[in-house]
Amino acid sequence: MKYFKQILFLSIIVAVLSSCSKEKIYLVNEVVLSFDDAPNFPENVVQILDILDKHHVKATFFCIGEALRAYPEIAERISVEQVMGNHTYSHINILKNNLSEIFDKEILQTQEIIDSLQPSNPHYFRPPFGKIGSDQRRFLIQKGYTIIMWDLSAEEWNDKVTTRQVLNYYHTSLQSKAKIPVILFHLNTSSVEALDILLGEFEEEGISVISLEEYLSKI
């Protein structure tokens, strides 16, 4: 019996030392999550919302106006559970257009849909393709919008990008404490599969997923 207790004690010590020596995957302390093109790919959006709910995480969904009209039930769910951002009505490249001419149709129309769903919406805007000129940026700021870009994206809008590639990208990229990274996810299957794994890893390593509002208050 004494011998058994010694073996058990040694096993516990080895387990504790192994857990303490486990190398961390990430070096960041906080991240911000955002998703583009919602609520296109409705089945994937539902899964993403379920995953965020499972992990008690808040994110920002940059929505396309015509997709909000096409999938009203999912739009409603996003508005209740998460924060909505403006991603134009038709995913137009605003840099190739006169913004003052397309503002009402592409941005204001989308914002009116968002505001009807989420009256306290903060009016975040992300330009499709990340394309925006300095004059356009000033124009939108004067209109009351906060322009939100991103720091990291695995470019998984491309269907050829696998879940493993998405995970490898973030394992490599989230290695600096210099700033809080804003992560851009798309809505493909690899996004869904990688998201659940990443959030589990964040929880294990004590990484906080903070809201855009909190992030903006810190920069």
Structural domain contains residue 15: no
Judge residue 149's burial from the number of C-beta atoms within 10 Å of its C-beta, 0-12 exposed, 13-18 middle, 19 or more buried: exposed
Examine the pLDDT at 3 and tell me if it is beyond 80. no
Convert 61-71 to b/e letters by CB count within 10 Å (16 or more is b): bbbbbbbbeeb
Number of domains present in the structure of the chain = 1
Structural domain contains residue 30: yes
Structural domain contains residue 4: no
Range of the domain at 155: 25-218
Structural domain contains residue 16: no
Confidence of residue 158 (pLDDT cuts 50, 70, 90): confident
pLDDT digits (tens, 9 = 90+) for 64-104: 999 999 999 999 999 999 999 999 999 999 999 999 999 99
CATH code of the domain in which 58 resides: 3.20.20.370
Structural domain contains residue 5: no
Structural domain contains residue 10: no
Beta-carbon contacts of 96 under 8 Å, excluding residues fewer than 6 positions away, are 131
Structural domain contains residue 177: yes
pLDDT of residue 21: 46
pLDDT digits (tens, 9 = 90+) for 167-217: 999 999 998 878 899 999 999 999 999 999 999 999 999 999 999 999 999
